[in-house]
Structure 1
């Protein structure tokens, strides 16, 4: 394993995902979320197939032992993506990014509720602190005037997206018991493309060639980012790489300022800082527990 390579791949993936979100945001005034989901998913497929072919992994990538599991993964993922893309048209990029950090916090709660994972006091406290950060980011939107009501809808969509992203993580944990990672990646893009087509009656448009090029670019870049993300975990431990997810707020602030003339508010910066701190505390604690379990394993009985 090469930790430096893993970190480099992870940061590259986070950077590209932020570019992808920026492209989606740039087209949001002309393209409905369902149509954006289709482009993001469909044009990632050629990238993924090429990647699988270069690895000699096409057969594995196409093999689905649990077809309905992939279908449910697609439904959950499309819901998360659609809500997130809709929010990009209503809120500044840094704010969507900051509120999206609720996903790993919710994953902890969902893992306890749905997978029976033990929820220790430290993790529960860290989740509570993180959710306080989310409320701080959200607080300026809790207004009754028309402009803030639109923004509040965007914030609500971002939180719904975060909840479904957390559910997707729980579902993937179940899927990996029977499915290869390459198959999960491929069939998500395939099923997401199919489900996105169901939104055609809700107002797809022909936005113009510039917007179409941006949407195709978002799909291709998203596919490359997904591959870089997957590759990063082959070079380094997940616990080491997880904190680098939070580099996305730096990229979002940069792109929001340069391309959309967006400057994050003090509340967004404070709230996102608290959420990032809570997330890193959870990651640190899990790493410590993992090390302890590793030390304890040699003394375990065969029944573990």
Structure 2
């Protein structure tokens, strides 16, 4: 279980760095173009990882093409909505909206996967959700201050809703599919979704734009592998509160890279988010859902 949590924490950090990169690109590069490069370049670390664990080329094979297509379709929609949110909101605010995803995933996990939700885990999720609301307080109280904030908030809410289902889809796929297979076909599907935006107009990749697009893809590819491996080891409901640590990364990127300083209400929200993770960590083993067995890993070692 600890290995799964550590993998999830690492994936959160990589995703936060990718989000900061996308936020910087979104002011000059169309969302569809970013989606394509983030997904296409991500195939490189995924294939390297596939070879490293001895799954090349068998890792391309799947028994559930329909499941991968649906995961890729909903995941691609989630990615588009996430990048739109990052285009109009600070990284911390967009990340805060994304944290509604783990909360949405809890009932999905219970209904579709049969996972047991303890009271402490549910309370942790709601405390984290309260922290998210505090993080968004300034935007929600004065949405008329910037019309773009309404677009960003709407896209962020849509992202959270679709991600709640995507998390459960990933968990379900890991019962028969390896993490690298899931990550590979997700990137392929999302590359196709991004490519569909080409007729709408892409900008020339001059200067540092190409390198930032490649960097976002590499970060996303590594984060995908880590997140999928974590989902294969630990139930969705237990991973949810740990995603809130991404707020710390997001706030740091806003301050250091974009000179956007949060107010005191945001810091209170961050404290509530961290508290949610602590509650989960100290939950007695007798109250925790039993960890599901890892996905099949025959030739991985």
TM-score bucket (shorter structure): 0.7 to 0.9
Q: Report the CA distance shift for 1:63/1:279 in structure 2 as closer, same or farther (over 3 A).
A: same
Q: Deviations over 1:170-202 (max 9, x none)?
A: 111221233222211111111111122122233
Identify which of 269, 272, 283 aligns with 2:267. 269
Identify which of 169, 172, 179 aligns with 2:170. 172
Deviation at 1:6, TM superposition (A): 7.3
Of the structure 1 ranges 54-63 and 13-22, higher mean CA displacement relative to structure 2 is found in 13-22
Look up the match of 2:180. Answer: 182
Look up the match of 2:296. Answer: none
State whether residues 102 and 162 of structure 1, in contact with CA within 8 Å, keep that contact through their aligned partners in structure 2. Answer: yes
Identify which of 246, 250, 253 aligns with 1:252. 250
User: What is the total number of aligned residue pairs between the two structures?
Assistant: 290
Look up the match of 1:92. Answer: 90
Q: Deviations over 1:111-132 (max 9, x none)?
A: 2344454555554444444433
Q: Deviations over 1:230-273 (max 9, x none)?
A: 56789x86799776543322222222111101112223222343
Look up the match of 1:133. Answer: 131
Look up the match of 1:209. Answer: 207
2:193 and 2:130 map into 1 onto residues whose CA distance is: 35
State whether residues 126 and 279 of structure 1, in contact with CA within 8 Å, keep that contact through their aligned partners in structure 2. Answer: yes
- Two-structure CA RMSD over aligned residues (Å): 3.2
State how 1:120-159 maps to structure 2 within 5 Å.
121-143=119-141, 146-159=144-157
Identify which of 30, 33, 38 aligns with 1:32. 30
Look up the match of 2:21. Answer: 23
Q: Deviations over 1:61-100 (max 9, x none)?
A: 1111010110101111111111111111111112222222
Look up the match of 1:299. Answer: none
Deviation at 1:15, TM superposition (A): 2.9
Identify which of 38, 41, 54 aligns with 2:39. 41
Of the structure 1 ranges 153-162 and 203-212, higher mean CA displacement relative to structure 2 is found in 203-212
Q: Report the CA distance shift for 1:275/1:155 in structure 2 as closer, same or farther (over 3 A).
A: farther
State whether residues 242 and 277 of structure 2, in contact with CA within 8 Å, keep that contact through their aligned partners in structure 1. Answer: no
Q: Report the CA distance shift for 1:242/1:103 in structure 2 as closer, same or farther (over 3 A).
A: closer
Q: Secondary structure at the match of 2:136?
A: helix
1:268 and 1:189 map into 2 onto residues whose CA distance is: 34
State whether residues 35 and 190 of structure 2, in contact with CA within 8 Å, keep that contact through their aligned partners in structure 1. Answer: yes
Deviation at 1:211, TM superposition (A): 1.3
Unaligned 5+ segments in structure 1 are: 295-304
Of the structure 1 ranges 245-254 and 70-79, higher mean CA displacement relative to structure 2 is found in 245-254
Q: Of the two, which has the highest radius of gyration? A: 1
State how 1:49-68 maps to structure 2 within 5 Å.
49-68=47-66
